[in-house]
Chains A and B, each alone.
Chain A
Amino acid sequence: MEDIEINVIVNGRTFKRRVEPRLLLTDFIRHGIGLTGTHVGCENGVCGACTVLLDGLATRACCTLAVQADGRRIETVESLGRLNNLAPLQRAFWEMHGLQCGYCTPGMLMLMTELLRENPNPDRDTIRARLNDNICRCTGYEDIVNSVERAVELMRTETAGR
């Protein structure tokens, strides 16, 4: 078994690292790069807590090897906003109580980021269908759906304000 050199673009910055082939993308992001916003839940593809965007597509980082991300573009929750400058989607989750313990939230935010890019005006059923991907054990999902609907409003206002 030989370590392999990879170049991965994470949130716009290129990271060159030597990794074991068996290193999961979750662990590469968390330990290799030190971005701990991406959470590890079930580690077998069921819960979606580790969802990141890989070349723009919602991806379970626990079902992806770091070597598979070589030369590709990763976006994690850290790319969205900062505490004093939240992205509209994050602000909406805050306002509408779209989280309780927060463990699933980074995955939810990245999953919905992909949805809102492909469809900036999803109806409630579309949001609910896409939320099927990820598990939340606190909210009962209603507040998450409300948050995404609120994000649509916020983003529309923001675009109109420009």
Chain B
Amino acid sequence: MKPPVFDYERPPTLRAALEALSRHGSKAKLLAGGHSLIPMLNLRLIAPARLIDVSRLTELRYIVEEYGQMRIGALTTHNTIFRSPIVAANNPIITEAYAHVANHSIRNHGTIGGNLCHNDPAFEMPLIVMLTGATMVARSTRSTRTIAAERFFKAPFATDLSADEMLTEIRIPRLPAGHGYAFLEISQRYGDRALVAAGCLLTLRYGTCRDVRIGIRNAVHNVFRLPTAEARLEGKPLSLAVIDAAAEAAATEVTPAGDLHADEAYRRDLAATLTRRVLRMACTRAGHPLDG
């Protein structure tokens, strides 16, 4: 179908965009890459009165590394981040996850900020910012505030942003050298929406698991870490047995909904399998390969 009628403006600066957003609030939608918004318009799922086109605000396209963190401008495109040597060197889990984000043509235009704000339950990046302990910067004409990732995602397709706020920056802490990481997802075809996705970060000190973070996407109601599964590993000497225990915990801890593509039991099974796989990969990358 075709989009419903709306007004359109393209403010020349971030300040002008924030002013427009403050004027029109919940009646307006920000247009960034447009690759979720425009399909939703085409399908008539939403009918905003106005689109505020921020896609040319080059001031929000950057990747900077400083003071132990990466700062990524919200309008940086997926492919820019996917191909960034700074990102690959600092947080390789981001690069690994990006291989699963949509496809190349969509990554040409889709932005990290748009992806996070849309918060589709099958999207990878909300899980990534959760796992890495990222902070979101939200701006409006009245304030600038930072929001921890775990408070940013309120519900599927909903975030903590007010109607006049715009996500402008994502701050991702640098992970310790030698940390283990892995991201995997199962979809019906490569590039399709994730049936279930899993990511993990951990550090191994003298064979003991530290700072274990395990997260699952599209099999939990909202976001995404699995504290029970993490606790099976945290502070424990690494073994295949503790990895299996974490995978079992993951299967009971997730709260999947069944749908046309995968029923609840299958999603639980995928959560356990993917948890086991990401943990093994992460441990191998942290320098402790496991047999069996």
Q: Could you tell me which A residues sit within 8 Å of B by CB distance?
A: 1-2, 4, 20-22, 24, 27, 43-45, 48, 51, 54, 57-60, 62-65, 67-68, 70, 111, 130, 132-134
Within 8 Å CB of B8, what residues of A? 4, 21, 65, 67
Which of B65-73, B102-110, B119-127, B173-181 contacts the other chain? B102-110
Q: Which of A27, A59, A60, A63 has the most CB of B within 10 A?
A: A63
Asked if residues A65 and B105 are in contact (CB atoms below 8 Å), the reply is no
Q: Shortest CB–CB separation between residue B83 and chain A, in angstroms?
A: 11
Q: How far is the CA of A50 from the CA of B80 in the complex (A)?
A: 23
A60 in contact with B106 given A22-B41, A67-B53 (CB within 8 Å): yes
Closest 3 CB pairs of A and B: A21-B8, A44-B39, A22-B3
Assess whether A58 is in contact with B5, with CB atoms less than 8 Å apart: no
User: Which residues in window 1-38 of B have CB below 8 A to A?
Assistant: 1-8, 10, 31, 34-35, 38
A28 to chain B, nearest CB (A): 12
B112 CB-CB contact with A under 8 Å:
no
Quick one: which of A4, A45, A70 has the most chain B CB within 10 A? A45
Judging by beta carbons under 8 Å apart, are A59 and B3 in contact? no
| B266 interface residue (CB < 8 Å to A) | no
**A1-B7, A21-B8, A44-B43 known; A65 and B104 CB under 8 Å?**
no
Contact assessment for B191 and A64 in the assembled complex, using a CB-CB cutoff below 8 Å: no
User: Given the known A-B contacts A44-B39, A62-B42, are A130 and B104 also in contact in the complex, defined by CB atoms under 8 Å?
Assistant: yes
CB pair A22–B34 under 8 Å, yes or no, is no
In the assembled complex, the Cα of A80 lies from the Cα of B43 at a distance in Å of: 32
Interface residues of B (CB under 8 A from A): 1-8, 10, 31, 34-35, 38-39, 41-43, 51, 53, 55, 103-106, 108-109, 190-191
When the two chains form their complex, are residues B34 and A68 in contact, meaning their CB atoms are under 8 A apart? yes
Q: CA–CA, A48 to B51, complex, Å?
A: 24
User: Is the Cβ of A57 less than 8 Å from the Cβ of B42?
Assistant: no
Q: Does A57 lie within 8 Å of B108, measured CB to CB?
A: yes
Closest Cβ of chain A: how far from B105's Cβ, in Å?
Answer: 4
Inter-subunit contact A133/B104 (CB<8 Å): yes
Q: Which residues of B contact A134 (CB under 8 A)?
A: 105
Within 8 Å CB of A57, what residues of B? 105, 108-109
CB pair B108 A59 closer than 8 Å: yes
Contacts of A64 in B (CB 8 A): 34, 38, 109
Q: List 24 A-B contacts (CB under 8 A).
A: A1-B6, A2-B7, A4-B8, A21-B7, A21-B51, A24-B3, A24-B38, A24-B42, A43-B1, A43-B2, A43-B42, A44-B39, A54-B109, A60-B35, A60-B105, A60-B106, A62-B42, A64-B109, A65-B51, A67-B8, A111-B105, A132-B103, A132-B191, A133-B105
Given contacts A22-B6, A44-B43, A68-B55, contact A63 B34 (CB under 8 A): yes
Task: Tell whether, in the assembled complex, residue B5 and residue A45 are in contact, meaning their CB atoms are under 8 Å apart.
Answer: no
Closest A residue to B7 by beta carbon equals A1
Tell me the nearest residue of chain B to A110, going by C-beta.
B105
Q: Which residues of B contact A65 (CB under 8 A)?
A: 3, 8, 31, 34, 38, 51
Query: Nearest chain B CB to A56's CB is how many angstroms away?
Result: 10
A24 closest partner in B (C-beta): B2
Residues in B with CB closer than 8 Å to A48 are: 105
Whether A58 pairs with B7 at a CB distance below 8 angstroms is no
Give bound CA distance, A132 to B190, whole Å: 7
Specify which of A22, A60, A130, A133 is in contact with B2 (CB 8 Å cutoff). Answer: A22
B189 to chain A, nearest CB (A): 8
Q: Which residues of B contact A111 (CB under 8 A)?
A: 105
Tell me which residues across on chain B come within 8 A of A24, comparing CB atoms. Answer: 2-3, 38, 42
List, in ascending order, chain B residues with CB within 8 A of A43's CB: 1-2, 39, 42
Alpha-carbon gap, A45 to B106, bound state (A): 8
Given contacts A22-B4, A22-B6, contact A63 B38 (CB under 8 A): yes
State the CA gap A143–B116 with chains docked (Å): 38
